[in-house]
Structure 1
């Protein structure tokens, strides 16, 4: 059986065993497509059921999360933790609280996390978790009670040498605080290394809040430099207005670009003169309001409930909202309007069709497993500080982040060239991330 047949046979088996999980299927298909090149060149990676083991989580946890709302009514949500691969270190990956969360989404995120964490060069494995709980519209007391119930079960399965969760969509500093407080109460000890994204006074790290957005821009800066360009004077579209998007906008504008649009689930805001990032932080992080509030308070900004944010002429696009937000039609709009660089701040925001359009139209594209690795990289730096009972300066930590992201870009660029696909950063990221994990798995035996 040749490599094409091997991969096809395994993928068809995976579809049957994981029915109804399209996001997971999509994530695996993209990686397997890249790995065909590796298996042809280095056939030993097909030994010992390596690919099958890589695509099967080591552990999948689903649990009930009961909590009482402010009206005294019992609510029941579902919690998840997928501990996907620990060959390189303890499972590491965020918790997502959003009504769309299901096992398939958590598995797709956990699978992506394996390669993302590998690319950082730090000793962390891949995992992901969350719940279909929706924090929007809930009081602080309701969120606290939910987080305490969620952690009461999750605490059985995590620890600084086992599994270290962090935040994701719907899980920010407030939620991490409630989760950590309950863990500390149950464990009867201050085990700082069990969660990352903590507050600065109780084990957190400087730069962690900014890390995913800043890291995205640092990698994009390296991609621009590789093609003889800079952010100076560039027009940039950033989808989303959460943590990743806000700090990407901040760093992009520090580097001399203009952010001409951003969005949330209600629509998008055109900002031809750039974004007032401090005002946006106040609206989104303090007041927790929609982007329509920004338009009413900042002159020159216009809100659009219809149409596409990707229709504006730009040089760089940074999708930072959610999976599959940028489809083939949007990719063609970007290409038609002069966009030359796309880097993913969210997890898998570009559909397979969009990625093909980027390839066909010669748009330089950095996938999320490389471009948004700054968050988990800085989480690992937080773990280092917790382990040594130390606290690093903002400048030192930011410099470490910058070097990690620059090294990720150099690695994926060199790997793509080594395997005959110069400039294809998807292939470069998939292969580079895979080989480090695969070598560790083969060295450790069939487990």
Structure 2
């Protein structure tokens, strides 16, 4: 009997071709770029005389461009191949981050971060597909590897960014550019030129630009995408706004997000698969989101208490690590469509939520007070839980597949 697309093989997850580890390593570096900016947000606001809502636009422009760029990743990768698309994304990130290091205004940085989002979209969507295609065993193992790269990159990035940011706010952008050059060399040397997609050569029929929209006709995939959009409001309220209220210097901020990202990485690799095996996908996903609601409420109530916010941010990493792996696994088995197209459609929806959250959080803090953004974020995550149960009949088959 064929293996379920959601099942986790007993074979060691570490037994992978060298090409998988090349993409894995490049993924860590790419996601380090996302976290490098967190520790210097307060420093940027001070040095460039920017308001909270202006600084958070660094995340909004990045995520907004990334969301819409996700819609073309399938078309681009079907023409350039997986390796060509990954390399193009890396080159774009390296160039715009290099220019960002010499920016003189917050608005220049906001524009360059949009270009960064384009490069990251090409890399992120294609990296997930590449790891699935190149890996041995069930797709679930590949998804765990991908989420591990995400967690490690997000955890190491802030520490590097904080260390470099203590020298100058420009140094982390130079660091990203250098890291992308390293990732480029790793992929050039170690990744096969003609990787295959779902068993078909990458030079097969080009993917239509309308494919992700057609994919969203599947109610199950649409449901998971909308759920991800809602909970990403909470995710990126922590990423983009929490650093503004913790009152830490760049290096201290780096250590906080190192703890956050470390828990995210560990739970995504070790805890989420165990939860999935014992309880399926839907129940633990809803439970983790409920804990995340409570965590955000704690941040909202105790916003003025630095240590409570720091503890709540770090704890959120464990919740998000579990949820990221569970929902990504669900998406890959939610609809009978090509994985690259499913990833593009899902990522488009979830990054829309990620785009709205940072600017909304900054603006709410300016209009009301710093407590309100966390309350609003918790409401969005609660809405994600409600949407899961309202559409349970459309998504329960992912648990049926797991049981089978």
TM-score (norm 1): 0.24
Larger radius of gyration: 1
Q: TM-score, normalised by structure 2?
A: 0.26
More strand by proportion, 1 or 2?
1
Which structure would you say has the larger RCO, counting Cα contacts within 8 Å and 6 or more residues apart? 2
More helix by share: 2
